Structure 1
C-alpha cells in the first residue's frame, strides 16, 4: 500500500496511527488529446484518466500537473516530478527508470488525398516539409531524417490545417492523436492518404531516478498488472 512492510504491519497494532501515503508528483506533457486543461483548469484527457485509475489501483494520491514536454523531461531528471508517461526514447532513459509499458501506437505519415505517401523517411522523402508536434518523439527514423524539412507546431490541428492549405506536404503523428484530431475537427479520413512511418511506438510509465519513491516500483508494477488484467488499461488507451 505504498508504505514499507513494517509500517503496514503497524496498522494493526492498538494505539499506532497509520501513516498517510506520500503524494506522488506527476508531470503530464500537455499534448491534446493525451492531456489538456479542462474548463476548471484541471488536467483532462487520456493520461489524466490513466493516472486516476492507477491512483485508485495503487491506493496512492497523485498530484497531476500539465507541463510542456521539455519541462516534463527536465522535472523528471531533477526529481521535481516522480512519475510521467513518455514514448520510449533515449532522451527519457537518461533521467528516469522505466516502470512498465502502458500502451503502444503506430506513427502515421499523412499527405493530401491522391498524393503519394513516401515509403520511408529517407531519400524517397527528400525535400518533403513535414509538420510535427513540437517536442514529441516519433521514433529514430524521424529523429535521424535529415533530408526532410521538419516544421514544428503546437498541436496537430494546426498541422492539418497547414496541410490542407498546402503550406506543408505532410504531417506525422501517433495514430491516437491523428484519429482523435480528425474526429474533433469533423474531417473524413478520405481527405488524406495515410502511410505508416513506424509500426510500433511504445509508451511507458517512468519514475525519476531521483524520486524518493523508487523503492515502491514493485507496488506500481503490480497495480499496473491488475489494471491490465481487468481491461481498464486497454480501455483507457483505446482508439476512438
Structure 2
C-alpha cells in the first residue's frame, strides 16, 4: 500500500514538473517574430518623460522602422555601455549607435541613419583655442561611453569629465567648473533649447565633422532578413527627408558656427 502511494506521489510530481516547464518555456514563434532593440538611454536621443513614456529621436526611429518594414519590435532603454554589451552578447538583435571602428568589428553596420558634427564648445566670453592640444590639462565634459572620435578616445592630455546630461555640462561651463564640453551639435542645441538659452551663449569649434550614427545588428543574434527590410526603410526615410525632421524638427538642421577656435574679445 505504501509503495502504491509513493508511486502515485512521484507521478504527480512528474506531472507538476512537466506543467511548470511547459508553462514557462519560451514560445518559439513569438521570439522569432519580435525583433529586439537596446536603445542608449541618453538625453535627448532617448529618455523617459515624467510619466515614464519613452521619448526621443531614437525611439521615434525604432517605431518608424517597425512601421515601414512591417516588423514587430520590442525595445529597452539601457545605459549606453549596457546597450553595447547587450548588442555584442546577442541579448538583443539591434541598436542605434555612433559609428566607430571598434563597433564595426563587433557588430554588423546595417545602414547610416544620421550624420552630425561633434563640437567643442566654451562660454562665448572666453578666448582660448578650442583644440585638444590647447586644452591639455583642462576639464572637458562629455557623455560617458559616447564615441566622440578617435582623437578624443586616444587623448590622455585633457581631463575628461563624464556627465549624465549635456544640460549639466552647460551649467558647469557657466560656473567655471569646465573649460569646454564635447558633444554633438544635435545634443548641444537640444540642451540649450531645454534651458531656454540662445546658441550665442557659447562659441564652437567643429571637432569631428560628419560623425555618423548607424543601425547595428548583433553578430550573435542576427536577423539578416529583417536587417534588409530596415535598410530599405532607412533609404525611404532619407528620400523623403524624414530622418532630418525626426532629429532636427520641421525647421531642419541649424548649423553652429564652428569655423573659428577663438571668439572676438568683448568690447572694453
- Provide the TM-score with structure 1 as the length reference: 0.86
Structure 2 gaps, min length 5: 1-28, 255-268
Equivalent-residue separation in structure 2 for 1:197 and 1:186 (angstroms) = 25
The match for 2:162 is 152
- Cα deviation, 1:134-170, whole Å, max 9, x if unaligned, reads 1111111111222111111111111111110001111
Equivalent-residue separation in structure 2 for 1:62 and 1:221 (angstroms) = 15
Please, which of 117, 129, 135 is the counterpart of residue 139 of structure 2?
129
Deviates more, 1:223-232 or 1:112-121: 112-121
State the SS of the aligned residue for 1:54.
helix
Does 1:103 find its partner at 2:100? no
| 4+ aligned runs moved over 4 Å, structure 1 | none
The match for 2:261 is none
Please, which of 200, 222, 230 is the counterpart of residue 240 of structure 2?
230
Classify 1:81/1:117 alpha carbon distance in 2 versus 1 (closer, same or farther; 3 Å).
farther
When you count helix as a share of all residues, which structure comes out higher?
Answer: 2
Please, which of 185, 196, 204 is the counterpart of residue 186 of structure 1?
196
Cα offset, 1:237, TM superposition: 2.1
Classify 1:60/1:117 alpha carbon distance in 2 versus 1 (closer, same or farther; 3 Å).
farther
Please, which of 84, 87, 91 is the counterpart of residue 80 of structure 1?
91
Structure 1 gaps, min length 5: 1-18
When Rg is computed on C-alpha atoms for both structures, the one with the higher figure is: 2
Classify 1:117/1:62 alpha carbon distance in 2 versus 1 (closer, same or farther; 3 Å).
farther
State the SS of the aligned residue for 2:145.
coil
State the SS of the aligned residue for 1:237.
helix
Deviates more, 1:225-234 or 1:103-112: 225-234
Q: Does the 8 Å contact 2:121/2:130 carry over to 1? A: no
